[in-house]
Amino acid sequence: MGHAAHGSNYINAEKGLMSWFTSLDHKRIGILYFCTVLFFFLCGGIAALLLRLELFTPNAAANVGQVFANGDIYNQALTYHGAIMVFMVIVPGIPSIFGNFFLPLQIGAKDVAYPKLNLASWYLFMTGATMAIATMFLNRVDTGWTFYTPYSIRTGTSVSLIVAAVFIMGMGSVLTGLNFIATIHKLRAPGMTFHRMPLFCWAIYSTSIIQVLATPILAITLLLLIMERAFGVGIFDPKLGGDPVLFQHFFWFYSHPAVYIMILPAMGIISELLTTYSKKTIFGYTAIAYSSLGIAIVSFFVWGHHMYVSGQSELAGVIFSFLTMLVGVPTAIKMFNWLATLYKGSIEFTASMLYAMGFLFLFVIGGVTGIMLATLPIDVHFHDTYFVVAHFHYVMVGGTLMALMGGIYHWFPKMFGKMYSEGLARMSFVFVFVGFNVTFFPQFILGAMGMPRRYFDYIPAYEQLNKISTVGSWLIGLGFVIALVSIIKALTSGAKAPANPWGAKTLEWHTESPPITHNFSHEPHVTEGPYEYK
Partner 1 sequence: MMWLLSLINRANAQTFMPTEGSKIATSVDNLYGFLIAASFISCAILIGGMIYFALKYKRKSDNDKTAYITHDTRLEVIWSVIPLIIFLVVFAWGWIIYHDMRKMPENALEIHVTGRQWSWMTEYKNGVKSPDIVVPVGRDVKIVLASEDVIHSLYIPSFRVKQDAVPGRYTALWFRADKMGEFHVFCTEFCGTSHSGMITKLKVVSQEDFDKWLIEESEVSALPIAQRGAKIFQTRACASCHNVEGDAVKIGPSLAQSFGKTHNFEDGSTAQVDENYLRESILNSNAKIVKGFGPRSAMPAFQGQLSEAEVTALIEYIKTLSK
Between 6 and 534, whose beta carbon lies closer to partner 1? 534
| Binding to partner 1, residues 23-62 (CB under 8 A) | 61-62
Query: What per-residue string of b and e applies to 149-163 under the rule 16 or more CB within 10 Å gives b?
Result: bbebbebebbbbbbb
First-to-last C-alpha distance (Å) of the chain: 24
Residue type, 302: V
| Binding to partner 1, residues 178-237 (CB under 8 A) | none
H-state helical runs in 4-107: 17-21, 26-54, 71-83, 91-94, 100-106
What three-state secondary structure class fits 418? strand
| Binding to partner 1, residues 372-431 (CB under 8 A) | 372, 374-378, 380-381, 383-385
Dihedral sign computed on CA atoms, order 242, 385, 87, 205 = negative
What is d(CA 210, CA 471) in angstroms, rounded to the nearest whole number? Answer: 37
Instruction: Give the x-and-dash track for 73-112 against partner 1 (CB under 8 A).
Output: --x-------------------------------------
| Interaction between residue 172 and partner 1 (CB under 8 A) | no
What's the closest the beta carbon of residue 148 comes to partner 1, in angstroms?
6
Q: How many CB atoms lie within 10 A of CB 498?
A: 13
Kindly calculate the radius of gyration of the chain based on its CA atoms and give it in whole angstroms: 23
| Binding to partner 1, residues 119-148 (CB under 8 A) | 142-144, 148
| Binding to partner 1, residues 150-169 (CB under 8 A) | 150-151, 154-156
Part of the chain binding partner 1 (CB under 8 A), chosen from 37-45, 105-113, 343-351, 432-440: 343-351
Between 18 and 60, whose beta carbon lies closer to partner 1? 60
# chain residues binding partner 1, by CB under 8 A: 94
What's the closest the beta carbon of residue 128 comes to partner 1, in angstroms?
23
Q: Which one of residues 322, 422, 430, 441 is an interface residue with partner 1 (CB under 8 A)? A: 322
Q: Which one of residues 83, 84, 298, 365 is an interface residue with partner 1 (CB under 8 A)? A: 365
What is d(CA 497, CA 421) in angstroms, rounded to the nearest whole number? Answer: 12
What is d(CA 417, CA 293) in angstroms, rounded to the nearest whole number? Answer: 34
Between 446 and 516, whose beta carbon lies closer to partner 1? 446
Q: Which one of residues 115, 216, 234, 284 is an interface residue with partner 1 (CB under 8 A)? A: 284
Q: Which one of residues 223, 233, 329, 484 is an interface residue with partner 1 (CB under 8 A)? A: 329
Q: Which one of residues 9, 100, 299, 369 is an interface residue with partner 1 (CB under 8 A)? A: 369
What's the closest the beta carbon of residue 52 comes to partner 1, in angstroms?
15
What's the closest the beta carbon of residue 450 comes to partner 1, in angstroms?
3
Q: Extract long-range pairs of 151-159: CB within 8 Å, 24+ residues apart.
A: 152/225, 152/229, 153/225, 153/228, 153/229, 153/236, 153/237, 157/76, 159/225, 159/229
Nearest to 416 by CA among 513, 489, 343, 328: 513
Q: φ and ψ at 516, to 5 degrees? A: -70, 165
Between 124 and 225, whose beta carbon lies closer to partner 1? 225
Between 335 and 419, whose beta carbon lies closer to partner 1? 335
What's the closest the beta carbon of residue 201 comes to partner 1, in angstroms?
18
Q: Which one of residues 19, 130, 346, 527 is an interface residue with partner 1 (CB under 8 A)? A: 346
Contact between 382 and 388 (Cβ < 8 Å): yes
Q: φ and ψ at 31, to 5 degrees? A: -70, -35
Q: Which one of residues 333, 419, 468, 485 is an interface residue with partner 1 (CB under 8 A)? A: 333
Q: Which one of residues 160, 215, 255, 321 is an interface residue with partner 1 (CB under 8 A)? A: 321
| Interaction between residue 286 and partner 1 (CB under 8 A) | yes
| Binding to partner 1, residues 460-519 (CB under 8 A) | 503
What's the closest the beta carbon of residue 164 comes to partner 1, in angstroms?
22
What is d(CA 435, CA 469) in angstroms, rounded to the nearest whole number? Answer: 9
Between 14 and 384, whose beta carbon lies closer to partner 1? 384
**CB neighbours of 466 closer than 8 A, spacing ≥ 6?**
55, 56, 57, 58, 442, 446, 458
Contact between 69 and 54 (Cβ < 8 Å): no
What's the closest the beta carbon of residue 328 comes to partner 1, in angstroms?
5
What is d(CA 51, CA 59) in angstroms, rounded to the nearest whole number? Answer: 13
Between 168 and 197, whose beta carbon lies closer to partner 1? 197
What's the closest the beta carbon of residue 405 comes to partner 1, in angstroms?
18
What's the closest the beta carbon of residue 355 comes to partner 1, in angstroms?
13
Q: Which one of residues 133, 297, 445, 468 is an interface residue with partner 1 (CB under 8 A)? A: 445
Q: How many CA atoms lie within 13 A of 382 on its CB side?
A: 26
Contact between 346 and 394 (Cβ < 8 Å): no
Q: Which one of residues 318, 484, 488, 491 is an interface residue with partner 1 (CB under 8 A)? A: 318
What is d(CA 412, CA 420) in angstroms, rounded to the nearest whole number? Answer: 8
Q: Which one of residues 448, 468, 478, 499 is an interface residue with partner 1 (CB under 8 A)? A: 448
| Binding to partner 1, residues 243-272 (CB under 8 A) | 243-245
Between 223 and 347, whose beta carbon lies closer to partner 1? 347
| Interaction between residue 293 and partner 1 (CB under 8 A) | no
What is d(CA 467, CA 472) in angstroms, rounded to the nearest whole number? Answer: 9
What is d(CA 68, CA 78) in angstroms, rounded to the nearest whole number? Answer: 11
What's the closest the beta carbon of residue 43 comes to partner 1, in angstroms?
21
Q: How many CB atoms lie within 10 A of CB 392?
A: 19
